[in-house]
Amino acid sequence: MKLSISGLNSFYGRAHILFDVGFEIGEGEVVALLGRNGAGKSTTFRSIVGLVAQRRGQILFEGVDVSREATYEIARRGLGYVPEDRRVFTELTVEENLEVGRQPPRAGAPTWTPEKLFALFPNLGEMRGRLGGRMSGGEQQMLTISRTLMGNPSLVLLDEPSEGLAPKIVEQMADAILSMKREGLSVVLSEQNLHFARLISDRAYIIEKGRIRFSGTIAELEANPDIRDAYLSV
């Protein structure tokens, strides 16, 4: 397994948010973590990369327990994370933003260059010199993902990559994620509904009130409208 989570419990202060969350991502898989507003998707991702101080459970990345490691150590192992609040450097250009993320090539992970990323996200290629602060939300989202890929991760956590994107841009995002998969990258994405996730995911988990409620293929989920209606917004 590329990433294996078990018994994950997370807290904000005295509020218990995640309850024994567990899931697995195989090498090169695209897996969706589905759930409504407030279900615990972002908390799960933040817990995996060490951004939730109060957590317990096992997080195995490439077979190594990283549950006690600092966020920068986990990143250095090749686990990339794109938070839901797209944070670009507003005073830097597209190309400069990408340079900020540049890391040496990593064995067992695809190597990215600005040119390769501009092929993935043609919009970005047309605005290399533009300041981050002068880009649309969708463009910033693409830039944030691209900057993370410049670190040559072997797995990325994408927190709601389609959120707030215009329909045309949503298609581009789906194509880009499929290209990442073709390069050999493992991808975990969080989503509120099925429409985007079904385009690209091999499998899905549903989280609700901090608990995993479903695990299976997208086809299995679509064959189970009761589960979908109970836990997802459609």
Ligand X SMILES: Nc1ncnc2c1ncn2[C@@H]1O[C@H](COP(=O)(O)OP(=O)(O)OP(=O)(O)O)[C@@H](O)[C@H]1O
Residues lying near ligand X in the complex (CB under 6 A) = 12, 15, 17, 35, 37-43, 84, 192
Residue 62 burial class via C-beta count within 10 angstroms: exposed 0-12, middle 13-18, buried 19 and up = middle
Binding range to Mg ion, per CB under 5 A, among 35-43, 102-110, 132-140, 150-158? 35-43
Q: How far is the CB of 183 from ligand X (least distance, A)?
A: 27
Partner touching 15 among Mg ion, ligand X, none, CB below 5 to 8 Å by kind: ligand X
186-191: strand order across its sheet: 79-82, 155-159, 186-191, 30-34, 203-208, 211-217
Binding residues for Mg ion restricted to 65-104, rule: CB under 5 A:
84
Partner touching 234 among Mg ion, ligand X, none, CB below 5 to 8 Å by kind: none
Beta bridge partners of 188: 31, 157
Q: How far is the CB of 91 from ligand X (least distance, A)?
A: 27
| Cβ within 8 Å of residue 141, ≥6 positions away | 86, 161, 163, 164, 165, 173
Count the alpha carbons within 13 Å of 151 in the hemisphere toward its beta carbon. Answer: 21
Partner touching 151 among ligand X, Mg ion, none, CB below 5 to 8 Å by kind: none
CA–CA gap between residue 70 and residue 40 (Å, rounded): 21
Are the beta carbons of 189 and 204 closer than 8 angstroms? no
Is residue 42 close enough to count as binding Mg ion by CB under 5 A? Answer: yes
Partner touching 37 among Mg ion, ligand X, none, CB below 5 to 8 Å by kind: ligand X
Partner touching 35 among ligand X, Mg ion, none, CB below 5 to 8 Å by kind: ligand X
For ligand X, give the closer residue by CB, 40 or 151. 40
Binding interface with Mg ion (CB under 5 A)? 41-42, 84
